[in-house]
Amino acid sequence: MDQPPYSPRLDQLSPPCSITETPSAENIPSPSLAPPPDRNNNTFYIQERLMAIAHRLAHNTACSSDDAVTVHSHLDDIELLLDPRPALTQEITKYRPAVSAHIVGASSSPSPLSSYTPQLTGLLHEITTLNTELKQRRNESVHLYERFTHELRGSTQRVSQLETEICQLKADSVEDSAEREALQGTVQGLESWVTAWHRQHGLAVMKKLRHTRQQGSKRKPDPRNNQENEIEVLVEGMAAWMRGWKDLEEGFRLREKGRQARREERYTRNPRGILQTST
């Protein structure tokens, strides 16, 4: 963690001896005339220690916030001890904004953004994962939509074919019903003709018997002539019925041929049968 810069206490009054003036040429003592340092003086050892501390601080770039607060607290005590005018400094300090304290407090307190960094990193990871899953679900939905659309088109086409098939089957059913009614009508016609023939034959026989009774036994009818006439009438009636039946049978055959042609055409369009499903 980088050490925040700390400005010196420029607003405090420095002792007169600490104010450096621009030395003139005559005021600069020569090295030979400079007095040697007094090693018995405590100030000399304090200066050496402060210089050693400054040297260490220049090479120490990893200083924590807690360490910086501690160092500043001790520096405040040192400045207070070395201040030649403590009363004046304290008076000025009363009306001075606490800039240094604000800087130290700001540097010592952790940044809100740095405290939320792990949470934001985790949230970013979750959002990235969710975005990837949503893209995957979207691709799956598009694939399913295309597949269902294709199946829907096939089903719609198949329903149309089935509706056509149903219409054709209804037409075949109507034709079958017409043929059945025609057969019933033909058979009923034959029954009616046979019944009418029996009735006419019975009436003819009764008339002949009555006529014979009226004329007496003078003249007897020939029974062979009556039988021949009855057989001729019966044969003619049966021949007429057979001609009608053949016409009806020919109509049946033509309609059946047409239905067979339609079935073959439907099978050609759909060789798998009516139960085929679209894929």
**Boundary of a domain, candidates 60, 78, 109:** 109
User: Are 234 and 205 part of one and the same domain?
Assistant: yes
The yes-or-no verdict on residue 116 having pLDDT over 70 is yes
137 and 235 both lie in a single domain? yes
CB 71 within 8 A of CB 3: no
Question: Domain check: are 105 and 216 in the same one?
Answer: no
Q: Do residue 43 and residue 156 come from a single domain?
A: no
Nearest to 13 by CA among 104, 97, 87, 72: 87
Neighbours of 20 (CB within 10 A): 7
pLDDT of residue 242: 80
CA atoms of 279 and 148, how far apart (whole Å): 10
Whether 96 and 130 map to the same domain: the answer is no
As for how many domains the chain has, the answer is 2
* Domain membership flag for residue 120: no
In-domain check, residue 238:
yes
Q: Are residues 141 and 105 in the same domain?
A: no
Which residue did the predictor score with more confidence, 30 or 193? 193
Q: Global pTM? A: 0.38
Does residue 81 sit in the same domain as residue 214?
no
Please check whether residues 64 and 196 belong to one and the same domain: no
pLDDT at position 96 is 61
Band of residue 137 on the pLDDT scale cut at 50, 70, 90: very high
User: Which range (25-29, 58-62, 105-109, 154-158) has the least confidence?
Assistant: 25-29
Task: Indicate the residue among 75, 109, 143 that finishes a domain.
Answer: 109
Residue 142 clears pLDDT 90, i.e. is over it: yes
Q: Do 131 and 100 lie in a common domain?
A: no
Q: Are residues 261 and 130 in the same domain?
A: yes
Q: State the Cα–Cα distance between residues 193 and 198, nearest whole angstrom.
A: 9
Range of the domain at 40: 34-109
Q: What is the model's pLDDT at position 258?
A: 82
Q: What whole-number distance in Å separates Cα of residue 243 and Cα of residue 240?
A: 5
State the amino acid at position 234 in one-letter form: L
Does 11 reside within a domain? Answer: no
Please tell me whether residues 135 and 105 are part of one structural domain.
Answer: no
235 and 152 both lie in a single domain: yes
Residue 12 lies in a domain: no
Report the alpha-carbon distance of residue 264 to residue 6 in Å, rounded.
101
